[in-house]
Amino acid sequence: MNNAVMSAQNVLLIGIMFVYAVLVVLVLIRAVAGPRIADRIMAINMIGTIGIFLMAVVAVRLDEEYLLDICIIYAMISFLSVVILTKVYMGVHQENVLRKQKLERERRENGVSAEEDELDRLLSNLDKDTPPE
Amino acid sequence: MEWVRFTAAAVFLLFATVMECIAVFGVYKFKFVMNRMHSAAIGDTLALLLGAAGLMLLKGSRWYSFKLGLIVIMLWMTSAISSHVIMRMEYSIDEKKVKEETS
Amino acid sequence: MSRKRSDYRSTFYSRIENFVNGREEFLLYRPTGRTEAEKLESLEAELTEAADLLDKREEQQRIQDHTEPRDFLKRFHKLYGVVATLVCLTMMMLLMITVSWLPRFGNASNPANNEVIKRYIEKGQEETGAVNIVTGLILNYRGFDTMGETHVLFVAASCVMILLLIAEGKEKVSRYANDRQLEPKNDIIVQKVAGFLVPAVFMFGIYVILNGHLSPGGGFSGGSVIGAGLIMYVSAFGFKKTERFFNEHVYKIAKISALCFYICCLSYYFYMGAHGYDNHIPLGTPGNIISSGLILFINIFVGTEVACTMYAFYALFRKGGL
C-alpha cells in the first residue's frame, strides 16, 4: 500500500474516532438525565455498542488482531448486564408495590395512625424509584 | 485500485457515522421512551453493519473479516434481546402510562 | 454433603420407600395436570409467602432502626460526606504531586530498565517455551505470586460463603425453588438466544485458556469468560436447571482439585529450581498448542478456579447457596 493511501486512512480513522467520542459523551448525558429507568439502561447499552465499534477501529488502525476478541467479550458482557439489571429491577419494583399496598391497607384499617409522617416518608421514598416523566 | 477500495470503505464508514448521529439525535428528539428505544436500535444494527463492512473493505484480510462478521452476528442477536428485555421491564413497571399513550 | 434434598418427598425413591413401608399405593392413578383454580390458589399462596418474607425483613429493619438515635445519624451523615470529600481531595493531590515527580516515560536511565526485564525479554521464550512472554513471566518466573492470587480468590469465595450461605429453614426452601420470588422467570425469547449463545461463549473461553501461552489471554481472562457464560445460563434458565450440571458437589471437587494440581505443578518448578536440577519436561516447539511445559496445564487449573469463583459469587449473592 502506498504512502498516500496510508495517510488518508489514518486521517479517516482518527476523524471517525473523534466523532464517535463526541457521540459517547452525548449518550452519557442522556443516561444521566434520562427520566425513566429504561432510558438509562438503553443509553448504557448504546455506549457499549459504540465502544465495540471504537475498539474495532483501533484494532484496524494499530493492526492488532487480538483487540477484536475483546470486542466479542464486550458484546457478551453488555448483553448480560442488561438482562440481569432488568430482571433485578423488576423484582425490586414488585416488592415495592407489595409493600406500598400493605402500608395502605394498614392505614385504612387503623384510621389515622400515630405514625403518619413515618408512613408518608416511606411512601415518598418508594415514589423516588420511578420518577414521573 | 487501492484508491477505489479506500473510497468504498470511506463511504461505508461515513454512512455508519451518519447513522449513529441519527440514532443519537433520535434519542434526544423523541418524547416517549419506546420511540427513543427504536431510534437507539438504528445505531445497534445498521450503523454497526455498515461500520463493520467498511472496516472489512479497508483491511481486506480474511481473519479480520471473519472476526468482524462474528461481532456483527453476536450483536445483532444480543441487542435485539436487550431491547426486548428493556421493553418488557418498561411495560411491566408502568402499565398505565403505556396504555394511555398507545390508545 | 450431609444435607438432605429439600424436595425429597416428591422424588421417585421416596415413593418407592413409602410403597415398601406400606404407606402408599404405588400403581394408583394420580392426576398430574392442575386445574385453573388450583393454579390460582398456588399463585396466591406464593404471593402471601412473599409478603410474609417482606414482613420479616421489615420487622428486622424496624428493630435495627430503633436501636440507634436517628438525629445524631443524620448529622453524622452530613459530616461524613464532608470528611470523605476532603480525604479524597487530599489523596488526589498527593498522588498528582507524586506523578509530577516521576521520571519521564521511556527514558533509558529509568530505574525500571534493569537486567531483570532484559533477561525476561531476551531469554523468556527460550526458557519457558511460551510465545506470549507475559504468560511465561506470570506462570513460570513469578509463579509464587500467581499462586498467592489464586489463593486469594479461594479465600474470598470461602468468606462470602461463610457470610451468605443459608444453611436451612423455610427461607432456604423458598429461595431454592426459584431464584427470587417476584422476578420474571422463564422468558422463552431469552432462553432461545441463551441456548445459542452460551455454548459459543464457553467455546470462546476454552479457546482463550488453551491459547494462553500463544496469544493474549490465559487462565484469568478465559476463566472469567466461562463464569460469565454460566451466569448467562442461570439468568435465562434458573437455578434448578443449572444444578443438574453445576451444583455444590461439582463446585467443591473442581475447585479443590484445581488448586491441588496447581500447587503440585508449581512445587515441581520450585524443587527443581532450588536444587539446580535440569528441567526434564520437554518444552516443545514454540507456537504449537502442546508446548511450553507445564504452563498449559497451569492455565487450565487457573481457569477452572476463576470460573468457579465467578459463578459462586453470583449464586451466593442471589440465593444464598450454590
Instruction: Look up the pTM and report it.
Output: 0.74
Q: C81: Cβ–Cβ under 8 A, 6 or more apart, which residues?
A: none
Listed by start position, the domains of chain C span 68-99, 131-319
* pLDDT tens for each residue of A24-45: 999 999 898 878 888 889 999 9
Number of structural domains, chain A? 1
C-alpha cell at C201: 461463549
Number of structural domains, chain B? 1
Of B41, B53, B72, which Cα lies nearest the Cα of B12? B53
C-alpha cell at C300: 487450565
- Statement: residue C60 has pLDDT above 80: no
Verify whether the Cβ–Cβ distance C228 to A91 is below 8 Å. no
Residues in B closer than 8 angstroms to C197, CB to CB, are: 74, 77-78
C202 vs C214: CA distance, rounded Å: 19
Q: Is A62 on the interface with C (CB under 8 A)?
A: no
- Statement: residue A107 has pLDDT above 70: yes
Q: Is B77 on the interface with C (CB under 8 A)?
A: yes
For residue B73, the enclosing domain spans: 2-102
C58 vs A126: CA distance, rounded Å: 14
Residue type, C88: C
DSSP category for residue C288: B
Neighbours of C95 (CB within 10 A): 10
* pLDDT tens for each residue of C261-283: 988 988 888 888 888 887 777 77
B51, B12 contact by CB (below 8 A): yes
- Taking each helix axis from N to C end, the angle separating C143-164 and C295-319, rounded to the nearest 10 degrees, works out to 20
Verify whether the Cβ–Cβ distance C232 to A83 is below 8 Å. yes
Verify whether the Cβ–Cβ distance C236 to A66 is below 8 Å. no
- Chain B residue nearest residue A25, CA to CA: B24
Helix (H, G, I), strand (E, B) or coil at C1: coil
Helix (H, G, I), strand (E, B) or coil at A116: helix
C-alpha cell at B98: 403505556
Helix (H, G, I), strand (E, B) or coil at C286: strand
Locate all alpha helices (DSSP H) within chain B, ordered by sequence: 2-29, 33-42, 48-59, 62-93, 95-102
Of C274, C75, B65, B92, which Cα lies nearest the Cα of A130? B92
CA A61, A66, A71: angle at the middle one, nearest 5? 85
Q: pLDDT tens track of chain B, all 103 residues?
A: 788 888 999 999 999 999 999 999 998 888 888 888 888 888 888 999 999 999 998 888 888 899 899 899 988 988 888 998 888 888 888 766 555 555 4
Of A97, A30, A95, B80, which Cα lies nearest the Cα of B88? B80
A70 vs A72: CA distance, rounded Å: 5
Helix (H, G, I), strand (E, B) or coil at A89: helix
Residues in B closer than 8 angstroms to A86, CB to CB, are: 85-86, 88-89
A12, B10 contact by CB (below 8 A): yes
Q: Is B66 on the interface with C (CB under 8 A)?
A: no
Q: Provide Rg for chain A, Cα atoms.
A: 24
Taking residues C210-232, report their average pLDDT. 88
C-alpha cell at B68: 468482524
Q: How confident is the model at residue C1 (pLDDT cuts 50, 70, 90)?
A: very low
- Residue A133: inside a domain: no
pLDDT at C139: 83
| ipTM rounded to 2 decimals | 0.87
Verify whether the Cβ–Cβ distance C193 to B92 is below 8 Å. no
Task: Tell me the torsion sign for CA atoms C26, C29, C31, C32.
Answer: positive
B69, B52 contact by CB (below 8 A): yes
Residues in B closer than 8 angstroms to C193, CB to CB, are: 77-78, 81
Locate all alpha helices (DSSP H) within chain A, ordered by sequence: 3-33, 37-62, 67-110, 116-127
For residue A24, the enclosing domain spans: 3-127
Residue of B28, B33, B34 to mutate when probing chain A, most A C-beta within 10 A:
B33
C238, C178 contact by CB (below 8 A): yes
C-alpha cell at B84: 426486548
Closest Cα in chain C, distance from residue B72 (Å): 14
C304 vs B17: CA distance, rounded Å: 41
* pLDDT tens for each residue of C148-178: 888 898 899 889 888 887 766 666 665 555 5
